[in-house]
Structure 1
Amino acid sequence: MFENASELRFAVLIDADNVSEKYIKVILDEISNAGVATYKRIYGDWTSPRLASWKSCLLDHSIIPMQQYSYTYGKNATDSAMIIDAMDILYSGTVDGFAIVSSDSDFTRLVARLRESGMVVIGMGEQKTPKPFISACNQFKYLDLLYARQQLEEADDAGDSRGDDVSAPVGKPAPLLRRRLPG
């Protein structure tokens, strides 16, 4: 994928307003294929009951929640906080790339700016993500498709471990069995 991928350091910035916690394993697995997550931050208004389902997920994966209050309805303060942090991280010189996790086109200009500075940018979001954001990234990963594939693989693995492989071909009876069966 990328040259010396195992050595690339990524800042993973997640927009909790636009991403479900069910995708966290897919997100972190994809980043580990590209390099190392040196920053793992997620942005949202953590006083909102809507984000409560993220709590155990954040603890399990050492993701730092970044509090951003919703000052007014209809304005996305979370996006602004992510953009400011991304620029701070960019100028710190501590990463080689960014994973911007959102299905929101508001990050298109940020991605373009990060790439202008020589950063590798992996975008992640659902299939509903607007094309300009997708096109701005070096790579874009569709979380809903990766999650569906992961679910199928886990179901297949569970079936294999129980011995329930219904796809195994049925063979002919062994010659010894044929001799003992009447008829």
Structure 2
Amino acid sequence: MSASGTARVALLVDGENVSSGYAGKLLSEAAQHGCVTIKRVYGNAARVPGWDAAPGLRLVHAGQGKNAADLLLTIEAMQIFHDAQADVFVIASSDGDFSHLATHLRERGVLVIGAGEGKAPETFRKSCSLWVRIEAKSTEIDKAIAHVFSIMPDGLSIGQVNPEIRKRHAITLADVAEKSWRKYFEARPKLYAITGAGPQTRISLL
């Protein structure tokens, strides 16, 4: 605890798994449990659009290695624990690989709050002391995707869709219900025109 008796909270975000659009919600949730003294986002800086501009959060570049962000978040979480820098941990991710970290901290008497989307596996949710579901409204996501195409009069090739939408609105395929971008657009025939096949597929707004 801090000198004032207020719990110190560490907010650790898997930036490659959680959209920067949730920054405000995560900060608000963390603040409900005490004074948020550590606010970090982990990921390859080239793959986490929007997080570098999230107010109050420090982006920690994890490099390009496989699972580099997950490993660095875990290492720093344990350092924070052993240095007694926080009483509460908020781990923001929908990745089940953090189940072990959550369990390890909780078994040592730490309050662990997991925050993620509905796709987060049950193993991770149950490994936390508390679980908070963060979810963007589908209508807001649809509106943001349509906005990208509204400023692209010639449309986009299917290969350009993910990087362009991610760059402009930090939205990825994981944020929609469909399993592929083609299926997403096929489910909205009144909004989008689909031409071509395979890599030559092109999407445009009607």
- Is TM-score (shorter-chain normalized) higher than 0.5? yes
Give percent identity, aligned residues only.
36
Check conservation: 2:41, 2:58, Cα contact below 8 A.
yes
**Does 2:52 match 1:55?**
yes
2:145 corresponds to: none
Q: C-alpha displacement at 1:67, in angstroms? A: 1.0
Query: Normalising to structure 2: TM-score of the pair?
Result: 0.62
2:117 corresponds to: 126
Q: Could you tell me which amino acid in structure 2 is paired with residue 78 of structure 1?
A: A
1:165 corresponds to: none
Unaligned runs of 5+ in 1: 1-5, 152-183
Query: Normalising to structure 1: TM-score of the pair?
Result: 0.70
| CA distance in structure 1 between the aligned counterparts of 2:31 and 2:69, rounded to whole angstroms | 25
SS in 2 for 1:94: coil
Q: C-alpha displacement at 1:108, in angstroms? A: 0.2
Higher relative contact order (CA 8 A, sep 6+): 1
Higher helix share goes to which structure? Answer: 1
Q: C-alpha displacement at 1:52, in angstroms? A: 2.8
Q: Could you tell me which amino acid in structure 1 is paired with residue 48 of structure 2?
A: L
Q: Could you tell me which amino acid in structure 1 is paired with residue 60 of structure 2?
A: M
Q: C-alpha displacement at 1:36, in angstroms? A: 1.4
| CA distance in structure 1 between the aligned counterparts of 2:40 and 2:52, rounded to whole angstroms | 13
1:77 corresponds to: 68
1:26 corresponds to: 25
Check conservation: 2:33, 2:88, Cα contact below 8 A.
no
2:59 corresponds to: 65
Q: Could you tell me which amino acid in structure 2 is paired with residue 17 of structure 1?
A: E
| CA distance in structure 2 between the aligned counterparts of 1:128 and 1:55, rounded to whole angstroms | 25
1:7 corresponds to: 6
Q: C-alpha displacement at 1:53, in angstroms? A: 2.2
**1:1-183 equivalences in 2 (<5 Å):** 7-46=6-45, 48=46, 50-57=47-54, 60=55, 62-71=56-65, 75-144=66-135, 147-148=136-137
| CA distance in structure 1 between the aligned counterparts of 2:32 and 2:48, rounded to whole angstroms | 27
Q: C-alpha displacement at 1:91, in angstroms? A: 0.4
Check conservation: 2:99, 2:123, Cα contact below 8 A.
yes
| CA distance in structure 2 between the aligned counterparts of 1:30 and 1:84, rounded to whole angstroms | 23
Larger radius of gyration: 1
| CA distance in structure 2 between the aligned counterparts of 1:56 and 1:113, rounded to whole angstroms | 31
Q: Could you tell me which amino acid in structure 2 is paired with residue 20 of structure 1?
A: S
| CA distance in structure 2 between the aligned counterparts of 1:117 and 1:129, rounded to whole angstroms | 23
Check conservation: 2:52, 2:58, Cα contact below 8 A.
no
Q: C-alpha displacement at 1:124, in angstroms? A: 0.2
SS in 1 for 2:32: helix
SS in 2 for 1:117: coil
1:155 corresponds to: none
